[in-house]
Amino acid sequence: MTSIKKTKIAVLGGDGIGPEVTKQAIKVMDAVAERFGRYFEYCFADVGAAAIERTGDPLPDATLQACLNADAILFGAIGDPKYDNDPTAKVRPEQGLLRLRKELGLYANIRPVTTYERLLHLSPLRAERVKGVDMVIYRELTGGIYFGEKGTAADGRQAFDTCTYHVEEIERIARLAFEQALLRRRKVTLVDKANVMETSRLWRRTVQELAAGYPGVELDFMFVDNAAMQLIQNPRQFDVILTSNMFGDILSDEASVLAGSLGLLPSASIGLHTSLFEPIHGSYPQAAGQDIANPMAAILSAAMLVESLGMPEAATAIRLVVQHILEKGIGTPELQPSIVYGCSQIGDLAAHLVAEPEEEILVREDKLQQKVSTII
């Protein structure tokens, strides 16, 4: 008898819609396990506002331990309006995620932005401008202004945040970006503010030197303000964007709306310890518990997760299923699909199709009719 490999997954559903979209991703992972002969063991742990409520700490020790012991982390979302609107709050849900990144040394945040033909009309840009956009952002995640020295003067009238980078911090993420470019269209765009910032000039020098080892990859430089504009004006020009923590935070949100829905984009954070996979959307508290949240980003994060575990066929299977569902006109309400499905129905369907790839989707004609008539 062949033994089935057991893989430990820490599941941190977090806040708002986090737990419900994560649940759908797990259904799909279970289907992967069944079809590809793997055994996933899940360890559920608290993080964010949910964890503060229960323990006072947005990243309880038990959660950190579960992450350190796991082979991969499936993360939901973090954030609660209760804390957003209170600048005096001492403990914030986001601190849980920031600490987790630091503790696990997750120095690279990877966000692919792809578009789906059927959803181009949902993009804030004209369809012909976004058609064919296919880029990936490599954002440095454990350095820069996020983690530099910071403070507030005793009288509360002055504050500072410092941006610091070491060559090694730049090199390790740059290497990942170049390796990725080799598998793609072989172009890296370093986004910085080298006309103003010393750290940006260090990024330029370091990345330029590293690029010498990748003669097949074209390296471009772009100031961040220009990049913000170019992302709107000509997003197809980008293949791999490499940038620091803060610039990456801003640009990846900007890039994420190109696709038409935040609910479709996954991300991976990788580094020294266990890798973490999460949808890029937030906790969307208004939608929590209503079964209307789009679980596709969480499901696609599961695809990145299984890929990282050395299961590329499983990742492809999940991506094909997502594409297939979207092409059939099925989706959660915000996609304005022909056939509206709830969050859990999408999860069931995706899991079913991953487990039984030959099955055709049965499109309910009556539902289709109903939708058509409401449009007219």
Q: In terms of CB distance, is 98 or 320 closer to ligand IPM?
A: 98
Is 97 a residue that touches ligand IPM (CB under 6 A)? yes
**Position with the least CB separation from Mg ion:** 249
Residues within window 239-258 making contact with ligand IPM, judged by CB under 6 A: 249
Task: Output the CA–CA distances (angstroms, integers) from residue 320 to 36, 119, 350, in the order listed.
Answer: 16, 16, 10
Counting Cα atoms < 13 Å in the Cβ hemisphere of 144 gives: 23
131 is catalytic: no
Catalytic choice (46, 192, 193, 239): 193
Distance CA 83, CA 324 (A): 39
Q: In terms of CB distance, is 250 or 320 closer to ligand IPM?
A: 250
Is 171 a residue that touches Mg ion (CB under 5 A)? no
Q: Which of 71, 249, 291, 348 binds Mg ion (CB under 5 A)?
A: 249
46 is catalytic: no
Q: Which stretch binds ligand IPM (CB under 6 A): 46-54, 64-72, 94-102, 162-170?
A: 94-102
Distance CA 245, CA 259 (A): 22
Write the burial class of residue 201 (CB in 10 Å: 0-12 exposed, 13-18 middle, 19+ buried).
middle
Distance CA 35, CA 180 (A): 28
Structure tokens at 147: 């983690």
Is 34 a residue that touches Mg ion (CB under 5 A)? no
134 binds, among ligand IPM, Mg ion, none (CB under 5 to 8 A by kind): none
Task: Go through the chain and tell me how many residues it has.
Answer: 376
Residues within window 222-241 making contact with ligand IPM, judged by CB under 6 A: none
3-state secondary structure of 356: coil
Catalytic choice (107, 146, 165, 214): 146
**Considering Cα of 109, then 110, then 116, then 121, what sign does the dihedral take?**
positive
Q: Which of 94, 134, 218, 254 binds ligand IPM (CB under 6 A)?
A: 94
Q: How far is the CB of 218 from ligand IPM (least distance, A)?
A: 27
Distance CA 211, CA 350 (A): 40
> Which of 139, 140, 63, 138 minimizes the C-alpha distance to 95?
63
Count of chain residues binding ligand IPM (CB under 6 A): 5
193 is catalytic: yes
Q: How far is the CB of 139 from Mg ion (least distance, A)?
A: 9
Catalytic choice (249, 291, 348, 367): 249
225 is catalytic: yes
Q: In terms of CB distance, is 93 or 260 closer to ligand IPM?
A: 93
Most distant CA pair in the chain, distance: 71
**Considering Cα of 335, then 339, then 345, then 346, what sign does the dihedral take?**
negative
Q: In terms of CB distance, is 276 or 321 closer to ligand IPM?
A: 276
220 is catalytic: no
- 34-46 residues labelled b (16+ CB within 10 A) or e (exposed): eeeebebebbebb
Write the burial class of residue 372 (CB in 10 Å: 0-12 exposed, 13-18 middle, 19+ buried).
exposed
Q: In terms of CB distance, is 50 or 78 closer to ligand IPM?
A: 78
Count of chain residues binding Mg ion (CB under 5 A): 1
> Which residues are tagged catalytic?
146, 193, 225, 249, 253
Which parts of this chain interact with ligand IPM (CB under 6 A)?
A: 78, 94, 97-98, 249
Which parts of this chain interact with Mg ion (CB under 5 A)?
A: 249
